[in-house]
């Protein structure tokens, strides 16, 4: 018993040393664990900084683009307002008939067709069928183009007549589509910036979603 009492301070020393060593080992494990996480954290910080720079650059570009897009949209709207707000079918049909008759074109048949929504303007079409020489139809298209009213030859189809002809000039049949235009009151030029910003935010949200971690296989 006396021997044990005389050596008890050695037992306490060994116990304290073991406790300190155990604590030191645990601390070392924690330090190593933290050290292992540092590269991952650095990579995340670097990625976050890059995304921040990209976002700042994007927002700056958007603000610059807004001004340019607004300017173009205003120009389109101003051009739009230069078009007439109504189309007078009677006047246009009479004008086309007068031009064709002045060129001695025969078998004139005119008919108003449907309107077509083209965005900031509405296209009104007319069908013209007639008979004449190739030269007469060329002159007809030229006169329509030079007319003060907004008229445009959209399509022309010419074909020879089936009957034998004795005249000096070949008579052909013409099928022509002519357009005029009017202002579309219900249209406003889209700026499109909101859609771009929404799409960008949507992409950012998708990127932020955490990917599921792969479970390590137990050995």
Domain final position from 79, 100, 121 = 79
Asked whether residue 35 is assigned to any structural domain, the reply reads: yes
Q: In the chain, how many domains are there? A: 2
Of the chain, the end-to-end C-alpha distance in Å amounts to 50
Torsion over CA of 131, 132, 138 and 140, rounded to 10 degrees? -70
- CATH number for 176: 3.30.70.60
166 and 93 in a common domain: yes
Asked whether residue 177 is assigned to any structural domain, the reply reads: yes
pLDDT averages per 10-residue partition of the chain, 219 residues? 52 57 59 60 66 67 70 70 83 93 93 88 92 91 82 89 72 92 77 62 60 54
63 and 22 in a common domain: yes
- Residue 83 is predicted with a pLDDT of 78
Give the closest residue to 174 by CA, choosing from 200, 135, 207, 213.
Answer: 135
Q: State pTM to two decimals.
A: 0.55
> What is the Cα–Cα distance from 210 to 203, expressed in whole angstroms?
14
- Residue 197 is predicted with a pLDDT of 63
Domain final position from 32, 48, 79 = 79
Asked whether residue 199 is assigned to any structural domain, the reply reads: no
Residue pair 117/214 in contact (Cβ under 8 Å)? The answer is no
173 and 113 in a common domain: yes
- Residue 9 is predicted with a pLDDT of 53
- Residue 110 is predicted with a pLDDT of 95
74 and 143 in a common domain: no
- Residue 102 is predicted with a pLDDT of 93
Output the CA torsion sign for 166, 169, 172, 174.
Answer: negative
The boundaries of the domain holding residue 15 are 11-79
Asked whether residue 25 is assigned to any structural domain, the reply reads: yes
Domain final position from 79, 110, 129 = 79
Torsion over CA of 125, 127, 128 and 134, rounded to 10 degrees? 80
Asked whether residue 194 is assigned to any structural domain, the reply reads: no
Sequence length of the chain is 219
> Is 176 strand, coil or helix?
strand
Q: Which secondary-structure segment (H or E) carries 42?
A: helix 8-81
113 and 55 in a common domain: no
């Amino acid at each position: 018993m006396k021997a044990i009492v005389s050596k008890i301070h050695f037992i306490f020393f060994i116990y304290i040393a073991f406790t300190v060593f155990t604590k030191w080992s645990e601390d070392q494990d924690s330090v190593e664990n933290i050290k292992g996480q540092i590269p991952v954290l650095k990579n995340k910080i670097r990625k976050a900084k890059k995304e921040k720079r990209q976002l700042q650059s994007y927002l700056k570009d958007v603000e610059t683009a807004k001004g340019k897009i607004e300017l173009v949209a205003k120009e389109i709207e101003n051009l739009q307002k230069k078009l007439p707000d109504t189309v007078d079918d009677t006047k246009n049909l009479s004008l086309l008939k007068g031009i064709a008759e002045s060129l001695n074109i025969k078998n004139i048949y005119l008919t108003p067709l449907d309107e077509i929504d083209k965005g900031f303007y509405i296209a009104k079409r007319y069908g013209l069928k007639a008979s004449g020489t190739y030269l007469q139809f060329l002159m007809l298209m030229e006169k329509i183009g030079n007319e003060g009213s907004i008229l445009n030859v959209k399509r022309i189809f010419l074909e020879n007549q089936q009957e034998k002809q004795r005249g000096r000039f070949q008579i052909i049949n013409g099928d022509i589509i002519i357009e005029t235009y009017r202002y579309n009151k219900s249209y406003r030029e889209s700026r499109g910036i909101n859609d771009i910003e929404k799409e960008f935010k949507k992409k950012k949200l998708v990127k932020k979603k955490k990917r599921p971690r792969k479970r390590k296989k137990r050995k």
